[in-house]
């Protein structure tokens, strides 16, 4: 046995003795090589809603916490929330956005409408095609957040409900 092999064997033996016999045990018969080699699943991303635009009537938020890459585009959820509804009215809409950052293109996906109780009321997809992002549009503000790394001033919100409960940015 070479010196390196001996050293490795001795190190493994010391670790096994220190940890008890569990390191030296064979894996259970039900475990496969893939099971042992698979890394632990990454924790799911947490929603992080950023207000990126507001008017006297409406606030727009983008969920940067769950943004993802899919089919060469970045995908995010964008919410539209009335700033005039009464406290406890959770109506709002959330729309899926796909952005091709370097091409300056956007494609709108499925929209989900929520009623005053915050329950899903409607769901639809207009089947939009890729479009160039227009200057000064909501799409451009989304791109600034998602592609260019700009961030709105805190606070951020873990949910749209939390944003509404905090006063809708009023």
Mean predicted lDDT score pLDDT of the chain: 80
pLDDT confidence of residue 19? 35
Q: Is the same domain home to 56 and 22?
A: no
Name the burial class of residue 16, with classes exposed (0-12), middle (13-18) and buried (19+) by CB atoms within 10 angstroms of its CB. Answer: middle
Mapping DSSP onto H, E and C, the string for 2-54 reads CHHHHHHHHHHHHHHHHCCCCCCCCCCCCCCHHHHHCCCCCCCCCCCEEEEEE
Q: Has residue 132 been placed in a domain?
A: yes
Q: Has residue 57 been placed in a domain?
A: yes
Q: Has residue 133 been placed in a domain?
A: yes
**Euclidean distance between CA atoms 23 and 13, whole angstroms:** 9
Q: Has residue 170 been placed in a domain?
A: no
Segments of the chain with pLDDT less than 50: 1-43
pLDDT confidence of residue 42? 45
Q: Has residue 44 been placed in a domain?
A: no
Residue bearing tokens 């890394």: 39
**φ and ψ at residue 52, rounded to 5 degrees:** -115, -10
């Amino acid at each position: 046995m070479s010196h390196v092999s001996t050293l490795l064997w001795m190190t493994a033996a010391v670790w096994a003795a220190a940890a008890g016999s569990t390191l030296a045990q064979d894996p259970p018969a039900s475990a496969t090589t893939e099971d042992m080699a698979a890394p632990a699943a990454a924790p799911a991303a947490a929603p992080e809603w950023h207000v990126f635009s507001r008017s006297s009537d409406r606030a727009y938020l983008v969920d940067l916490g769950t943004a993802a890459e899919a089919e060469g585009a970045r995908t995010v959820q964008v919410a539209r929330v009335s700033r005039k509804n009464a406290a406890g009215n959770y109506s709002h809409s959330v729309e899926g956005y796909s952005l091709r950052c370097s091409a300056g293109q956007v494609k709108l996906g499925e929209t989900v409408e929520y009623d005053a109780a915050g329950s899903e009321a409607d769901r639809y997809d207009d089947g939009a095609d890729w479009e160039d992002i227009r200057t000064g549009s909501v799409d451009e503000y989304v791109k600034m957040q998602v592609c260019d790394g700009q961030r709105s001033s805190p606070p951020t919100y873990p949910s749209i409900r939390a944003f509404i409960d905090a006063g809708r940015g009023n």
